[in-house]
Amino acid sequence: MAKRALFILQDYVSDGGPVAVQFRNRGYEIQQCIVVHEKDYKNPNVTVDWPNFLEFDAIVALGAPWGAFEDERIGNWLLPEMNKLLEAHNAGIPILGICFGGQLMARALGGTVARGPYPELGWHEIESDDESFIPNGPWFQYHWDRFTIPPGAKEIARTDLCPQAFIFGRTLGTQFHPDVDSEVLDQWLAMEGGPDDLEAEGVVIADLRAQTKLADATANPRSHALVNQFLDHVATAPIQRK
């Protein structure tokens, strides 16, 4: 019987990219839970009919254009999702949190999330404590916010701006995006207003597309390897409850 992974799509575009590809390569059936559908995108404080997180063998919580601290803006689903993820974590279900998902897990486990002094956008090297687990990259970044490491968690990568990855029991949280390749980036940029925030920060969209297309050949295998590390080592670690 195939294992089942729940991919939490905070918005209607992010689908997991290379991360989802490698979960399927590893024999997982993926069920998607879309939190904010396209019709609700401008009014994202929706009520969600959640699946039972405890019925899955792994959970992947993806990124979002909203902040993991914006309780008033998206509180109808932000706090319920955080609480359900914490319940799943404490039950020993492996969780991979990416960008917003990593921030949400940091907050759920006792860390904090806040706006940073500047964004990280595009392809960036990170400083990894174990390159056999998480290489230095470059990894794709698309965030204005940052998290602090939860008490009891192990920070395993960082940049000058913020932590980039941590492990807490069977949870791995990343600030960078292993789920992005050129196809995913094109989907993000096709959203209404997609390039606006990037261009406002001086990012040249044509250059970013070209860099990402070139990066696919090396970045996608790197993302697949990260999924393998998560499934083989983090997902089988002793349960560490909050």
pLDDT tens digits for range 139-187: 999 999 999 999 999 999 999 999 999 999 999 999 999 999 999 999 9
Calculate the CA 238 to chain-centre distance. Answer: 22
Sheet-wide strand order for 95-98: 28-34, 3-9, 58-61, 95-98, 171-174, 163-168, 154-158, 127-128
Cis, peptide link before residue 195, omega less than 30° from 0: no
Query: In this predicted structure, what is the pLDDT of residue 194?
Result: 81
Query: In this predicted structure, what is the pLDDT of residue 217?
Result: 98
- Contact by Cβ (8 Å): 162, 175: yes
Query: In this predicted structure, what is the pLDDT of residue 193?
Result: 79
Q: Rounded to 5 degrees, what are φ and ψ at 31?
A: -110, 125
Task: State pLDDT tens for residues 9-42.
Answer: 999 998 999 999 999 999 999 999 999 999 999 9
- Contact by Cβ (8 Å): 108, 190: no
Task: Kindly give the pairing relationship between strand 154-158 and strand 127-128.
Answer: antiparallel
Q: Rounded to 5 degrees, what are φ and ψ at 87?
A: -60, -45
Neighbour count for residue 4 (Cβ, 10 Å): 14
Residue with tokens 């969780």: 95
Q: Which of 74, 143, 136 is nearest to 102 (CA)?
A: 143
- State the distance between the two ends of the chain, measured CA to CA, in whole angstroms: 31
Tokens (6 digits) for 143: 């965030």
> Dihedral (C-alpha) 69, 70, 71, 72: value to the nearest 10 degrees?
160
- Contact by Cβ (8 Å): 143, 66: no
Q: How confident is the model at residue 2 (pLDDT cuts 50, 70, 90)?
A: confident
Task: State pLDDT tens for residues 41-86.
Answer: 999 999 999 999 999 999 999 999 999 999 999 999 999 999 999 9
Q: Is the pLDDT of residue 96 over 80?
A: yes
Calculate the CA 89 to chain-centre distance. Answer: 16
Is pTM beyond 0.95? Reply is yes
- Contact by Cβ (8 Å): 209, 199: no
| Mutual angle of helices 205-229 and 182-190, in 10-degree steps | 130
Task: State pLDDT tens for residues 180-230.
Answer: 999 999 999 998 778 899 999 999 999 999 999 999 999 999 999 999 999
Q: How confident is the model at residue 120 (pLDDT cuts 50, 70, 90)?
A: very high
d(CA 212, CA 180): 9
Query: In this predicted structure, what is the pLDDT of residue 192?
Result: 76
- Map out the domains of the chain with their CATH numbers: 3-117+145-179+223-234 (3.40.50.880)
